[in-house]
Chains A and B, each alone.
Chain A
C-alpha cells in the first residue's frame, strides 16, 4: 500500500516535472551550474574532502558532464540525497542528474519514469565473514545471523538466495552502512551482506582486514548507473554519451595525459577523431560544441583513470576491475561506437 502511494506520487511528480523540465540543457546553461544528486556518503563514490571539494567515482561522472555541457568541471552543485529522497529530488527537478550508485531495475526505469543512461559500475551483492567463522562459501551459512540494511534490494536478494538454497538465516536489521560495520565488528551478526564494492570498502577500514574474508558468491546483479528524468531525451542523450565517451576513451587509449596531443590534429584513428571532435559533427548533433567529449575526458581522465583514482587497487578501497573491465579485457564495459 505504502509503496503504491509512493509510486503514484512519484508518477504524478514525474508527469508534472516532465512537462516543465523539457529543456534541461537550456536550464543548466542558463543557470551556469549542473545540479547533481549524490549519496550522503559511500567511501570512494562521493564524499567531500577537507577543502569542501567533492571527490569520488560518482562525483567524477558529474564533473565530466558539467565539463561537457558548461566547459568547467567545477560548476557542479552537489545535492546529498538519501535512499528515500533521491528519486523525488530527481522527479521534482531539484537535481538534473542522479549519480548515486543506484541500481538499474525494471520498475525504477519504467514505473518511476526515469531513464538510466548506462552503467558506470557493475556491482553485485556479497558476504563478508570473519576468518574465525571458518566458512568458505555462502552456502555453508545455514543458521547464520546476517546484518542487512533495511529497505534495500539487498534484503530481498538475501531472502531469495537463502530460499533457493534451502537454508535458514536470522536477519539483524541495520539502518546504515556505518552502523552495520560497528555491529559486525562487535559480533552482533556472523556475516554482513551488501554490495561487494561496499564490502571491500568496509573491510579496508578494519584494523585487521586480514581477519575477514569476502565470500566468493555474488548473489545478485546490481548494475549501478546515473539516471535522468523521462521526457527529455536530448538531456538523456548528453548524459548517456558523456558516460560512453569516458568508457570509449579508455578503450581507444585516450587518457588525460595524451588527450591534448591527440586532439590537436586528426589522428589516423577516425573513431578517436570523431570522439574528440577533430572530425565529424557529433557535438553539434547533441546540441553541444565539437570539443564536448574532450572536456569531459580532461575533467578527470577516462573511465579507467577515474576508477583507479577513486576506488581502484591503489586506493584503500582496493577494488579490482573485474566485471568493470573493458569488453576487450573480459569485462562488461562496452560503449556503442561513436559514429
Chain B
C-alpha cells in the first residue's frame, strides 16, 4: 500500500457510516401515496375526482344503511319510526323486512321446524367437497364425498332412507362386476355389463326393494315437496347440482369433440352447438312448459329436476368448449409422448393430457360456474321461487309492498359471497398448480 495519499489527503474515514433511514417522503405510505396517487397534475386531478365520487356515493349510502330500522312489523310502521327518529327528509333503510323474512329468503317455504335439515345438509356438503377441493384434507374423506349426494337428497327431500340406500346398491353392483368379473369375462364386456345391469336394477328391482326394506324397518324423515323449497336453498341446490354434474359431462363432450370416431364426434358437436346456440331461458321454458306436452298427462316429473337437467346440459356445453380450449393449448408433443409411452387412450387422457388441460382451463371453468350460479335466478320466470321470486312474493304482502332496495341489497350480498369465494378458490388453485414458474 502506498502512503502517498496519507500526506496529500487531509482526512480519511476509516470506519463505515451507519445506514440512515431514507427520508420520510421516500418511504412507506407517504412514498406509495406520492408515487401512485399524486405523481403529476393529471393523477392529482383524477385522485381528487375519484375521492369525491367515492365520498358522494358513500355519503348517501352509509347514512341510509346505518340509520336503518331493524324492528318494525310493516313498511308504514317502519316509515313512521324513521320520521319520528330522524325527521322527514332523512332516508333510512327498513331492514326490518329482512329481520322478519330472512328465513324465507334463505329456505323458501321449507317447514320452520325442519330448518336443521338443509343446514345439516349444507355442512355435510362442505365436508364432502373439502377433500375434492383441497389436497391437504385426508384422502379417506373422499368416502364422505361419494356418499354425500345420497345423504343430501335424503336430508333435503325427506322420505324413506331405504330409497337412497337401494340406489347406492346399484353402484355397488356395477363396481362388483368391474372388479370381480372383469378378469374372467374380459374388459369390454364387463364395462358394458357394469352399466347395463345397474340400470336394469334401478328400473326394476330398486323401487320394490326400497319399499320392502321400508316396510320392515321404517327409517324415514318427513317428506318435503319441491314446491316448498325456495330462496337461496333452491339457488344452491340447482347451482351445485348443475356444477357437479356438468363438469364431468363437459369434459366428456370436449373429448368427444376431439374424437376421431364419426358418430361420437358429430354428436358432441351437434349437442354443444345446439345447446349453446339457444338462450338458457328458452331451455327453461322448454323444461317447464313443453315437456308437459310430450310427457303423458298426469306424469309428475318434478319441475326442479327438469330445471337441474336443463341447467346441467346448458353449462356442460360451455364447459366442453372451455376444456377444448385447454386441450388445444397443449403442445402436440404431449399427445405423442403419451403414445410413445404405450398408454391407451383413457390412460393417456387421465395421466397426461387432462391434468394439464384442466389446469389451463381453471379460470374459464370457474367463470362458467359463477355464471351458472347466477343464472339460477332465471328460474323466477317459470314460477320457481328463487331469491328474486321470493322478493316479489314478499313485496306482494300488504305489509311490505313497496320495499325494494333492502331486499335486493341482501340478495346481492349473498350472491356476492358465493361467487367471490368461488373466484378466490380458483386463484388459490391456480397458484398451487403453477409448477413451471416456481
The interface of chain A, by Cβ under 8 A from chain B, is: 9, 12-13, 16-17, 19-21, 39-52, 55-56, 77-82, 84-85, 88-89, 92-94, 176, 178, 181-182, 201-202, 204-207, 315-317
Contact = CB atoms under 8 A, between A and B. Distances in A.
A17 to B, nearest CB: 5
Given A41-B392, A44-B398, A181-B402, A79 B227 contact: yes
A315 B404 CA distance: 21
Contacts of A201: 398, 401
A46 B117 CA distance: 28
Contacts of A52: 104, 109, 111-112, 228
Interface of B: 74-76, 79, 100-101, 104, 109, 111-112, 225, 227-228, 285, 288-290, 292-293, 296-298, 380-383, 385, 389, 392-398, 401-402, 404
Contacts of B76: 316
A3 B297 CA distance: 23
A275 B75 CA distance: 41
Nearest to B225: A77
Q: Label chain A's interface by main secondary structure.
A: mixed
A208 to B, nearest CB: 10
Nearest to A56: B396
Given A41-B396, A43-B396, A43-B397, 9 more contacts: A44-B398, A78-B227, A79-B227, A85-B289, A85-B382, A178-B404, A181-B402, A201-B401, A316-B76
Contacts of B398: 43-44, 47, 201, 204, 315-317
B401 A43 contact: yes
Given A40-B393, A82-B382, A92-B292, A77 B404 contact: no
16 contacts: A9-B290, A16-B297, A20-B297, A20-B298, A40-B389, A48-B104, A50-B101, A52-B104, A79-B227, A81-B383, A84-B381, A85-B383, A92-B289, A93-B298, A201-B401, A205-B402
Contacts of B393: 40-41, 47-48, 80
A79 B227 CA distance: 7
Contacts of A16: 293, 297
A56 B79 CA distance: 24
B104 A205 contact: no
A17 B297 CA distance: 6
B401 A85 contact: no
Nearest to A77: B227
A33 to B, nearest CB: 10
A85 B287 CA distance: 12
A182 to B, nearest CB: 6
Nearest to A201: B401
Contacts of B401: 43, 201-202, 204-205, 316
A40 B392 contact: yes
Contacts of B292: 13, 88, 92, 94
Given A20-B298, A21-B297, A40 B395 contact: no
A66 to B, nearest CB: 16
A31 to B, nearest CB: 10
Contacts of B228: 52
Given A82-B382, A85-B382, A178 B297 contact: no
Nearest to A80: B383
Contacts of A20: 296-298
